Structure 1
């Protein structure tokens, strides 16, 4: 088996394990079971996974479960106890402690005071102050991506497939920018029908073979909001952009897609330190 064939085999196994983790977060994700899905010994597989993704399998499972829990806290009426159990923590105290260690506050307080609250009207009915918006003119951007169907909160599944394929094929470059392109309004379209694509820049010379697709972002002027905090909070930023900033700006939106650029890596920084630029196209 030559090197190219070996990496192609690893790529398929990476994709298979990553998809299984995302699709079975409610279940007991035993590390030995994940190694079985990869069809490799636990001893070797965990090292290969960490070499590609920069974190252990256990760290991935913990991060994804807490990411989903944060989304449930912000967007649903589920009790903290129900969310804890759904996240694999039958002990509520353990869930509270681990959530606080990652998100900076216990889940009940996060529901009341998380960064998503910054985009909501104050209790006295006054509108929130205008957040800083940068107007930027950009050239068209050619991207390579992996499509995702379903909840935008789960686009990480496509990003892991993209990331794993780029690394396994020797195509990953430090200067690549990570970009998510979103085609539907999650307040109108059912979650299971939402369409998006996880992308990277610098793919103009990359052969378009599965799972890759090409995607182009239109050049022009964009209003850019820099969001700091968990990805689970960002839907509030979108609502604020449309309801508050756009009508007060006097600008009109262009019939083109919005996109997000992720300025740091959720594997490297806590959710409270994540930086995301949200691009709204302007006419």
Structure 2
């Protein structure tokens, strides 16, 4: 009974998200969305925030700004004024302020030279919110065994409490940008998981943050050259942009590996993240692939 009630609750929240997607040009106030989800309008804003980690207003604003950024990146792009109106702003100046605040670029600057690293960061909360209701399941056919070449990388090690991983990631992103190795250059980034996601002792958490590069690595004491060794790998593509790859890793270890007859190689499981072009647009989508090294 509790499972059925929970699934019904999630389905009603999913209806609200689907309505937002389909009516970004329309009225998306609390009364409208609570009616779509069949919840009380007096409590819906708290229920929405508790479920998705964003208020209704912030979610709608991010969804409209994301669509606006994609419109700016299209080859047959509209005028900035038209895009601002479509995003629900009465004046281009108000749209420009909101856009700059979120993406650290003006709309015209983004149109000329999009900063995709900032774009990913800006809309990460939106992706995370949408993923909360995504039921992710995998099957044997989702896993491909590939021969992966050696990959030279620049690497920054994170050792210690996972709560401080964000600080390490920010330092590494800043180094990549200063070194001309941001995501928009088409280079892959990697996360090598050297410990459990949540070890019994938090300070035992260990991960390497890497970016692929063929050139010399001018280390600053924190960044050094390294190599992700090639060989046979079980590769599982993860749907969407996320830092929580635990469901995919669990599937590989618990379900796929015992049934495959394969044995894991003596190198940690790692993720490869890259930006891939969306046909007909300058925009990119994130592709995340989990690699389990095999003997």
Bucket of the pairwise TM-score, normalised by the shorter protein: 0.5 to 0.7
- The counterpart of 1:274, out of the listed 282, 286, 290, is 286
Taking a change above 3 Å as real, the CA distance of residues 159 and 147 of structure 1, as seen in their structure-2 partners, is same
2:168 alignment counterpart: 158
C-alpha displacement of 1:200: 1.1
Residues 155, 198 of structure 1: 8 Å contact kept: no
* 1:235 corresponds to 2:246: yes
Q: Which runs of 5+ in 1 are unaligned?
A: 1-78, 120-127
Given the alignment of the two structures, is residue 94 of structure 1 paired with residue 57 of structure 2, yes or no?
yes
Could you tell me whether the CA contact under 8 Å between 1:226 and 1:276 is conserved in 2? yes
Alpha-carbon distance between aligned partners in 2 of 1:105 and 1:262, rounded to the nearest angstrom = 15
Kept in 2, the 8 Å contact 1:181–1:257? The answer is yes
Asked if 1 retains the 8 angstrom alpha-carbon contact of 2:128 and 2:242, the reply is: no
Q: Is the 8 A contact 1:97 1:106 kept in 2?
A: no
Contact 1:180 1:199 in 2 (8 A): yes
Retained in 1: the 8 A contact 2:186–2:275?
no
Any idea what SS the aligned residue of 1:274 has?
Answer: strand
1:147 equivalent among 153, 157, 173:
157
Partners of 2:197 and 2:141 lie apart in 1 by 23
Gap runs ≥5 in structure 2:
1-46, 65-122, 277-281
Q: 1:149 to 1:175 in 2, by over 3 A?
A: same
Relative contact order, higher structure (CA 8 A, sep 6+)? 1
The aligned residue for residue 271 of structure 2 is: 260
C-alpha deviation, 1:96, in angstroms: 5.3
1:186, distance to aligned residue in structure 2 (A): 1.6
Q: State the 1:240 CA deviation.
A: 0.7
Equivalent in the alignment of 1:209: 220
- Cα deviation for residue 177 of structure 1 reads 2.2
The offset of 1:262, in angstroms, is: 0.6
Pairs within 5 Å for 1:1-283: 81=49, 92-95=55-58, 97=60, 111=132, 113-114=133-134, 117-119=135-137, 129-149=139-159, 155=165, 157-169=167-179, 174-202=185-213, 204-264=215-275, 273-283=285-295
Q: Distance in 1 between matches of 2:162 and 2:242?
A: 10
Give CA-to-partner distance per residue, 1:11-69, whole Å, 9 cap, x none: xxxxxxxxxxxxxxxxxxxxxxxxxxxxxxxxxxxxxxxxxxxxxxxxxxxxxxxxxxx
SS for the counterpart of 1:225 is: strand
Q: Cα 1:175–1:275, aligned 2, differ >3 Å: closer, same or farther?
A: closer
Once superposed, what is the RMSD of the aligned Cα atoms? 3.8
TM-score (norm 1): 0.53
Match of 2:290, SS state, is strand
Structure number, greater radius of gyration? 2
The alpha carbon displacement at 1:169 in A equals: 4.4
1:236 deviates by 0.5
* 8 Å CA contact 1:141, 1:216 repeated in 2: yes
Q: Distance in 2 between matches of 1:260 and 1:224?
A: 9
Alignment CA distance shift 1:110-1:280 (3 Å): closer
Question: Does structure 1 retain, via aligned residues, the 8 Å contact 2:152–2:227?
Answer: yes
Once the two structures are overlaid, the 10-residue window that deviates more, 205-214 or 245-254, is 205-214
